[in-house]
């Protein structure tokens, strides 16, 4: 059985927290700036070194090797020059030597050329960061720029870079110098197949890109300068990444959205919207969250899934003007969380299974889907109510709760879900745990998920999806570790083909062995290695069988 590994390496995951692009110097943010500069004040490209990157500057690479900085306050909106050094052929931005462009007001002191008196409010380097675009590249791989940034600013991140299909990486579609600056937040992109043998990174989705500067105490255009235009007197304060007002949340736990945390003025109207992740894109009519009081000062949203949710608050002031903030709320279920969604989730019943580590038994002990093995977590033995009546074939074995030796989890981990009352009856949240079975009765239009809140070091879990309804379906599986999406398997264009069985039959039907996930503990953190499973003899085809219960 062929496998390919997707590793949530420390280097990739650390970018969530550290906030620095590879090789990129990002300067301190938060400088107050007095002049709007339209966001294009630093539009110069950085030429790449010639092959070998010797840095001689002999052929067109002159600007690479620390050209003399232009005079401060250069006339006519002189574009700044990015100083780079050459390290083994890879351009590395080390600083911005120029000032910002001129503005309509044309204040002489804009670039500090004037007196010192007003300079406290002028945004200049090093606070003002460079866009950091390198010259156009056929492939960002050829200069080792496979880093989640759109280094050549052509609208594609890491074009030409190889990857493992199903892997997920943080990405930023804006100018690379804006990455992790101000309000800007990474999105995510999934590695997909590009023909039979090639792979490529898919579209970079989500996150927060540079926007026109607004008067909101946030650096919206991510140039390093907050509210950098004239006469800004903020009436509210929008949160950026890491702001304590927007802590991470938990799946199935109500997350309060308090308008007064962000806007203190007089408000005529409030409006809230929330946009979810890949499962919501698949099921536009069945959002993976509940948003209540969306027209109130304080709204509440309750996410069902891990991952990033984009929240927008719009306040209508008495004069009709608007004050708007948009930010990302990270929903971070602990440990290992596997989520399965599919566009047919309101009409068809697919089931998610997770095999107990160390077990390799067949998924079913008899000839139908009611004969589920008990050394796995699924609808029969892993919900609040144990719904499997017995395990066939006879002699029937009573169904007991999946128990893999983990500690139980606090009720807060699951009682906010649709089975909350039942879990309160149990008295704790089990681990492993299936929050809800989308079986068109107790759940419909919902993603199905299985949680292992505190996996151990080196445990390997196999993920399976079974097609109970038997109608053609297109399941997608997300693997999250500590709330970070590590893999997305079955997303377009890499759909699981021909995933259908015999409609109306309770036979085993179509089974998709999705991936093996191995957990690695790093202190209190859980990292994962995801190995996508392939059909025997293939290195690319999904491992789908019909009426075959093999592990
Ligand atoms: Ca690019
Ligand atoms: Ca790149
Ligand atoms: Ca700014
Ligand atoms: Ca602002």
Ligand 4 centroid distance, CA of 444 (Å): 42
Residues paired with 340 in a beta bridge: 448, 477
b/e 321-357 (16+ beta carbons within 10 angstroms → b) = eebbbbbbbbbbbbbbbbbbbbbbbeebbbbbbbbbb
Output the six-digit token pair for 189. 């992109």
* DSSP summary character for residue 185: B
Ligand 3 centroid distance, CA of 408 (Å): 47
d(CA 79, CA 506): 69
Neighbours of 320 (CB within 10 A): 8
Closest ligand to residue 228's CA: 3
pLDDT in tens, 180-239: 999 999 999 999 998 878 999 999 999 999 999 999 999 999 999 999 988 899 999 999
The confidence score (pLDDT) of residue 64 equals: 29
d(CA 265, CA 282): 38
The answer to whether the CB of 254 falls within 8 A of the CB of 302 is yes
Q: Is the pLDDT of residue 93 over 80?
A: no
Ligand 3 centroid distance, CA of 260 (Å): 24
The answer to whether the CB of 520 falls within 8 A of the CB of 526 is yes
Q: Is the pLDDT of residue 90 over 60?
A: no
d(CA 264, CA 359): 57
Closest ligand to residue 154's CA: 1
Closest ligand to residue 235's CA: 4
Q: Is the pLDDT of residue 541 over 50?
A: yes
Ligand 3 centroid distance, CA of 211 (Å): 9
The confidence score (pLDDT) of residue 391 equals: 62
Which of 120, 123, 160, 122 minimizes the C-alpha distance to 140? 160
pLDDT in tens, 345-372: 888 999 999 999 999 999 998 888 888 9
Closest ligand to residue 238's CA: 4
Closest ligand to residue 133's CA: 1
Ligand 1 centroid distance, CA of 157 (Å): 5
Q: Per-residue pLDDT averaged across 524-546, rounded?
A: 95
Output the six-digit token pair for 411. 């009720």
* Neighbour-count burial of 497, counting CB atoms closer than 10 A to its CB (0-12 exposed, 13-18 middle, 19+ buried): exposed
Ligand 1 centroid distance, CA of 134 (Å): 9
Ligand 3 centroid distance, CA of 227 (Å): 6
Q: Is the pLDDT of residue 380 over 80?
A: yes
Ligand 4 centroid distance, CA of 225 (Å): 8
Ligand 1 centroid distance, CA of 19 (Å): 19
The confidence score (pLDDT) of residue 270 equals: 98
Q: For the chain, first and last CA: distance in Å?
A: 11
The answer to whether the CB of 104 falls within 8 A of the CB of 118 is no
Output the six-digit token pair for 24. 């990129």
Ligand 2 centroid distance, CA of 148 (Å): 5
The confidence score (pLDDT) of residue 213 equals: 95
How many residues can be counted in the chain?
551
Q: Per-residue pLDDT averaged across 307-311, rounded?
A: 96
Q: Which residues contact 203 (CB under 8 A, 6 or more apart)?
A: 189
For ligand 3, a single-atom ion, which residues have Cβ within 5 Å? Answer: 213, 219, 221, 223, 225, 228
Which of 58-67, 373-382, 454-463 bottoms out in mean pLDDT, i.e. has the lowest?
58-67
The answer to whether the CB of 301 falls within 8 A of the CB of 292 is yes
Ligand 4 centroid distance, CA of 208 (Å): 14
Ligand 3 centroid distance, CA of 426 (Å): 52
Closest ligand to residue 216's CA: 4
Q: Is the pLDDT of residue 47 over 60?
A: no
Q: Per-residue pLDDT averaged across 75-94, rounded?
A: 32
Q: Is the pLDDT of residue 22 over 50?
A: no
Which of 478, 434, 476 minimizes the C-alpha distance to 306? 478
3-state per-residue secondary structure call for 274-297: EECCHHHHHCCCCCCEEEECCCCC
Q: Is the pLDDT of residue 31 over 70?
A: no
The confidence score (pLDDT) of residue 26 equals: 29
Secondary element (H or E) of residue 422: helix 420-426
d(CA 367, CA 383): 23
Residues paired with 226 in a beta bridge: 32
The confidence score (pLDDT) of residue 39 equals: 37
Ligand 3 centroid distance, CA of 25 (Å): 17
* Neighbour-count burial of 89, counting CB atoms closer than 10 A to its CB (0-12 exposed, 13-18 middle, 19+ buried): middle
Ligand 2 centroid distance, CA of 437 (Å): 40
Is residue 90 helix, strand or coil? strand
Which residue reads 């609808």 in tokens?
Answer: 379
Res. 89 pLDDT band, cuts 50 70 90? very low
Ligand 3 centroid distance, CA of 384 (Å): 50
- Main-chain phi, psi angles of 105, to 5 degrees: -70, -25
Res. 5 pLDDT band, cuts 50 70 90? low
The answer to whether the CB of 303 falls within 8 A of the CB of 249 is yes
Q: Which residues contact 484 (CB under 8 A, 6 or more apart)?
A: 8, 13, 16, 332
- The percent of residues above 90 in pLDDT, for the chain, comes to 63
Ligand 2 centroid distance, CA of 152 (Å): 8
131 vs 437, residue with greater confidence:
131
114 vs 188, residue with greater confidence:
188
Secondary element (H or E) of residue 187: strand 187-194
Closest ligand to residue 42's CA: 3
The widest CA-to-CA distance across the chain, in whole angstroms, is 92
Q: Per-residue pLDDT averaged across 94-106, rounded?
A: 30
Q: Per-residue pLDDT averaged across 484-513, rounded?
A: 93
Ligand 2 centroid distance, CA of 53 (Å): 18
Closest ligand to residue 149's CA: 2
Closest ligand to residue 29's CA: 3
d(CA 167, CA 318): 48
pLDDT in tens, 234-281: 999 999 999 999 999 999 999 999 999 999 999 999 999 999 988 888
The answer to whether the CB of 157 falls within 8 A of the CB of 148 is yes
The confidence score (pLDDT) of residue 112 equals: 28
Res. 471 pLDDT band, cuts 50 70 90? very high
Ligand 3 centroid distance, CA of 36 (Å): 8
Q: Per-residue pLDDT averaged across 316-341, rounded?
A: 96
Ligand 4 centroid distance, CA of 229 (Å): 9
């Amino acid at each position: 059985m062929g496998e390919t590994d997707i590793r949530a390496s420390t280097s990739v995951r650390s970018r969530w927290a550290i906030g620095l692009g590879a090789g990129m110097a990002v300067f301190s943010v938060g400088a107050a700036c007095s002049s709007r500069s339209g966001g294009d004040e630093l539009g110069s490209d950085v030429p790449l070194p010639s092959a070998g990157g010797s840095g001689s500057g002999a052929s067109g690479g002159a600007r690479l090797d620390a050209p003399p900085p232009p005079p401060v306050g250069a006339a006519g909106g002189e574009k700044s020059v990015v100083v780079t050094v050459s390290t083994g052929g890879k351009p590395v931005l080390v600083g911005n030597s120029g000032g910002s462009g001129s503005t309509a007001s044309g204040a002489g002191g804009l670039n500090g050329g004037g007196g010192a008196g007003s300079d406290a409010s002028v945004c200049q380097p090093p606070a003002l960061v460079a866009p950091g675009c390198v010259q156009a590249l056929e492939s960002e791989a050829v200069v080792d720029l496979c880093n989640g940034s759109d280094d050549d600013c052509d609208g594609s991140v890491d074009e030409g870079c190889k990857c493992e299909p199903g892997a997920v990486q943080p990405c930023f579609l804006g100018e690379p110098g804006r990455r992790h600056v101000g309000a800007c937040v990474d999105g995510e992109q999934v590695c997909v197949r590009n023909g039979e043998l090639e792979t490529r990174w898919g579209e970079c989705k989500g996150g927060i890109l540079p926007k026109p500067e607004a008067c909101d105490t946030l650096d919206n255009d991510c140039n390093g300068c907050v509210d950098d235009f004239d006469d800004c007197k903020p009436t509210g304060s929008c949160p950026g990444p890491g702001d304590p007002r927007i802590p991470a949340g938990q799946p199935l736990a109500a997350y309060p959205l308090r308008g007064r945390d962000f806007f203190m003025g007089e408000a005529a109207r409030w409006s809230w919207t929330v946009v979810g992740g890949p499962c919501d894109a698949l099921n536009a009519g069945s959002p993976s969250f509940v948003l209540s009081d969306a027209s109130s000062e304080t709204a509440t949203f309750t996410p069902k899934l891990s991952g990033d949710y984009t929240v927008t608050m719009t306040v209508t002031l008495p004069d009709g003007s608007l004050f708007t903030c948009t930010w990302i709320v990270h929903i971070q279920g602990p440990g290992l969380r596997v989520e399965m969604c599919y566009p047919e989730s309101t009409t068809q019943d697919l089931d998610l299974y997770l095999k107990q580590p160390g077990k390799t038994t067949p998924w079913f002990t008899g000839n139908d889907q009611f004969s589920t093995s008990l050394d796995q977590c699924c609808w029969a033995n892993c919900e609040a109510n144990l719904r499997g009546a017995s395990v066939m074939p006879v002699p029937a074995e009573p169904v007991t709760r999946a128990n893999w030796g983990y500690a139980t989890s606090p009720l807060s981990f699951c009682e906010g879900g649709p089975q909350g009352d039942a879990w309160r009856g149990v008295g704790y949240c089990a681990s492993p745990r299936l929050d809800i079975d989308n079986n068109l009765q107790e759940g419909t239009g919902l993603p199905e998920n299985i949680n292992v809140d505190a996996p151990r070091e080196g445990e390997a879990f196999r993920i399976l999806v079974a097609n109970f309804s038997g109608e053609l379906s297109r399941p997608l599986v997300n693997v999250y570790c500590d709330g970070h999406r590590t893999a997305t398997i079955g997303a377009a264009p890499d759909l699981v083909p021909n995933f259908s069985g015999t409609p109306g039959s309770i036979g085993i039907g179509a089974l998709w062995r999705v991936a093996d996930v191995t957990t690695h503990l790093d202190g209190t953190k859980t990292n994962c290695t995801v190995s996508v499973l392939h059909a025997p003899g293939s290195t690319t085809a999904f491992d789908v069988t019909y009426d075959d219960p093999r592990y």
